[in-house]
Amino acid sequence: MKGRVTTKASVKWILFLCVFCFAIGTLFSNRLWDSSAEPNGQQLLSQRRHEQVLQVINDDSTTNKNLSHNNDAMDEVLKTHEAIQSLDKSVAMLQMQLAASRSSQEMSLDSSAAVSTLSRDGSAKQKVFMVIGINTAFSSRKRRDSIRETWMPQGKKLMQLERDKGIIVRFMIGQSATSNSILDRAIDSEDAQHKDFLRLEHVEGYHELSAKTKNFFSTAVAKWDAEFYVKVDDDVHVNLGMLASTLARHRSKPRVYIGCMKSGPVLSQRNAKYHEPEYWKFGVEGNNYFRHATGQIYAISKELATYISINQPILHKYANEDVSLGAWFIGLEVELIDDRNMCCGTPPDCEWKALAGNVCIASFDWSCSGICKSVEKIKFVHEKCGEGDESVWSDLF
């Protein structure tokens, strides 16, 4: 009996324990479910931080894409600009090579021919010994007349000088700022009377002398095939025979630059007469210019005049014309010939030299950068220092 009672009691306890454990398990599982379903504050902060990080990453990605796109566009613009610059340089180089080739072909022709090359209008260029351009202005009619009355032949003698001696003498002048003005018509009328002008495609102006010099050499080279090209001012006295015989001694030299060589100070003061705005290019203040011929008169050989003609668009112009010319030759294989007979003073200087048998090529006053009051005084200089009207015809050159 005891054994049966014990067995029944054990079964009841087992059932009770099972029900109790089930209830405890159900309660515990519900609490776990509730806690996992509702996130706490820490989880919310973590979630929001994660969302912000994703937003920043997305914004950075968009910005980087835009920057990359802009950089690519700038790279393309720079590449295009560089390509255009390279093309411009190539075209300029080809133009210079073509012009140099044409010039070389012209200079290689037989020197004994009466005519050699063609001028701009297609006519044959006259082969001559030298071309003299007398720089003048609209207001210098009296100066021109004084030269015509002294050292420059007129009329038939001027034509004979060209034909027999190969010496061309012309007053060089450009145009006025106003087309067909009274100034231009006055020069046309004067030229019709004397036939001794070389008209340039150039607008006259005192501060444009460097440009006018370039234009003169280019125009003269295009019109005449000369061994030498000479520039002289209209207030300077010249002995043509002495000039021709002097240049003839340098005929065998390909690149000569002849004149009275000087090296004056670079004037940085604005109120100075020969102020150089680009003085800083010549070093510290107080420096001197490089050696160059004084602007009253100088001569250059054919190759140098041709060089100016070919490179005219890219030759830099300084304030002073004589400095500009010297600068154009500074980097070339050029022989500079310092001939002091091209810068004699007026009487008594040139007179004493003439009496001693050393006739001057050119005479002027340094203080005036020409003959002081040349209209009145040039006749006196011609009488005292002139070589004689027949000298240019008798000299062999």
Lowest mean pLDDT among 141-155, 172-186, 211-225: 172-186
Per the listing, tokens 């002073």 go with 320
9 vs 21, higher pLDDT: 21
Does residue 206 share a domain with residue 93? no
Residues 6+ apart with CB under 8 A from 268: 275, 276, 279, 280, 285
- For residue 212, tell me if it sits in a domain: yes
The position carrying tokens 């003073």 is 345
Task: Assess contact for 221 and 227: CB atoms under 8 A.
Answer: no
Residue 184 CB coordination number (10 Å): 18
Residue 397 burial (10 A CB sphere; 0-12, 13-18, 19+): middle
Q: How confident is the model at residue 1 (pLDDT cuts 50, 70, 90)?
A: very low
Q: Is residue 272 part of a domain?
A: yes
Say which range, 38-47, 111-120, 146-155, has the weakest mean pLDDT.
111-120
Domain edge (last residue) among 105, 127, 150: 105
Q: What's the angle, vertex CA 325, arms to CA 323 and CA 329, rounded to 5? A: 110
Listed as own residue / partner, the contacts of 2-9 with beta carbons closer than 8 Å and 24 or more positions apart are none
Asked if residue 83 and residue 125 are part of one domain, the reply reads no
Residues 95-118, mean pLDDT to the nearest whole number: 47
Q: Which residue in 325, 275, 266 sits closest to 295, CA to CA? A: 325
Helices (H), 108-176: 141-148, 156-160
314 and 196 housed in the same domain: yes
245: which residues sit within 8 A by CB, 6+ positions away?
395, 396, 397
Residue 32: pLDDT band (50, 70, 90) is very low
pLDDT at 73: 59
381 phi, psi to nearest 5 deg: -60, -40
137 in the same domain as 285 = yes
* Predicted local distance difference test score (pLDDT) of residue 266: 85
Specify whether 256 is located in the same domain as 308.
yes
Tell me what pLDDT residue 35 has.
Answer: 45
Residues 51-60 pLDDT 10s: 654 564 455 5
Residue closest to 200 by CA, chosen among 191, 190, 189, 213: 213
Q: In this structure, what CATH number is given to the domain that contains residue 292?
A: 3.90.550
Q: What's the CA gap between 383 and 363, in Å, rounded?
A: 12
Are both 230 and 319 inside the same structural domain? yes
- CA–CA separation, 294 vs 137, rounded Å? 19
Q: Do both 177 and 92 map to the same domain?
A: no
By CB atoms closer than 10 A (0-12, 13-18, 19+), residue 39 is exposed
* Same domain flag for 157 and 280: yes
Query: What whole-number distance in Å separates Cα of residue 235 and Cα of residue 239?
Result: 13
269 backbone dihedrals φ, ψ, rounded to 5°? -70, 130
Q: What pLDDT does 162 receive?
A: 96
Residue 23 lies in a domain: no
* 97-106, 275-284, 338-347, range with the lowest pLDDT: 97-106
Higher pLDDT among residues 80 and 177, named by residue: 177
pLDDT given for residue 122 in this prediction: 63
pLDDT of residue 271: 80
Average pLDDT, the chain: 81
Indicate the SS3 state at residue 178: coil
Question: Domain limits at 315?
Answer: 118-394
Residue 232 belongs to a domain:
yes
* Residues 277, 180 share a domain: yes
Residue 20 in any domain: the answer is no
Residues 354 and 232 in one domain: yes
Residue 61 belongs to a domain: no
Structural domain total, the chain = 2
Q: Residue 83: its pLDDT value, please?
A: 64
Tokens standing for residue 326: 């010297």
Cβ of 197: how many Cβ atoms within 10 Å? 18
The last residue of a domain, from among 105, 126, 150: 105
First to last CA, the chain: 170
Residues 248 and 284 in one domain: yes
Local confidence band at 50 (pLDDT 50, 70, 90 cut-offs):
low
For residues 94 and 208, state if they share a domain: no
Of the ranges 48-52, 147-151, 180-184, 286-290, which is most confident?
147-151
pLDDT band at 178 (very low <50, low <70, confident <90, very high): confident
| 385 within 8 A of 347, measured Cβ to Cβ | yes
Q: Which of 79, 105, 131 is the last residue of a domain?
A: 105
Q: Residue 116 has what pLDDT?
A: 44
The pLDDT confidence band at residue 71, using thresholds 50, 70 and 90, is low
Amino acid at 301: S
> Which band of pLDDT confidence, cut at 50, 70 and 90, is reported for residue 282?
confident
Residue 182: the pLDDT is 95
**How many Cβ atoms sit within 10 Å of the Cβ of residue 256?**
20
Q: Could you give the CA distance from residue 233 to residue 235 in angstroms, rounded to a whole number?
A: 6
Q: By percentage, how much of the chain surpasses pLDDT 90?
A: 56
Higher-scoring residue by pLDDT: 368, 38: 368
Q: In which band, very low, low, confident or very high, does the pLDDT at 286 lie, cut at 50, 70 and 90? A: confident
The CB-side HSE value for 362 (13 A sphere, CA atoms) comes to 31
Q: Which of 42-56, 356-370, 373-387 has the lowest mean pLDDT?
A: 42-56
Reported as a pLDDT band with limits 50, 70 and 90, residue 288 is confident
Q: How many CA atoms lie within 13 A of 161 on its CB side?
A: 24
Per-residue pLDDT tens for 219-255? 999 999 999 999 999 999 999 999 999 999 999 998 9
Token pair, residue 379, equals 């006749």
Least confident piece of the model among 140-149, 158-167, 266-275: 266-275
Please compute the mean of the pLDDT values over residues 277-302 and round it to a whole number: 89
* 329, 304 Cβ separation under 8 angstroms: yes
Residue 129 domain flag: yes
Pick the closest to residue 167 from 106, 224, 249 (CA basis): 224
What tokens appear for 133 in the block? 């351009």
- Alpha-carbon separation of residue 12 from 8, 25, 287 (angstroms): 7, 20, 127
- For 58, 170, 192, 198, 352, the CA distances from 132, given in Å and listed in that order, are 80, 6, 20, 10, 27
Q: Is 274 part of a structural domain of the chain? A: yes
Which DSSP helix (H) or strand (E) runs through 14?
helix 2-37
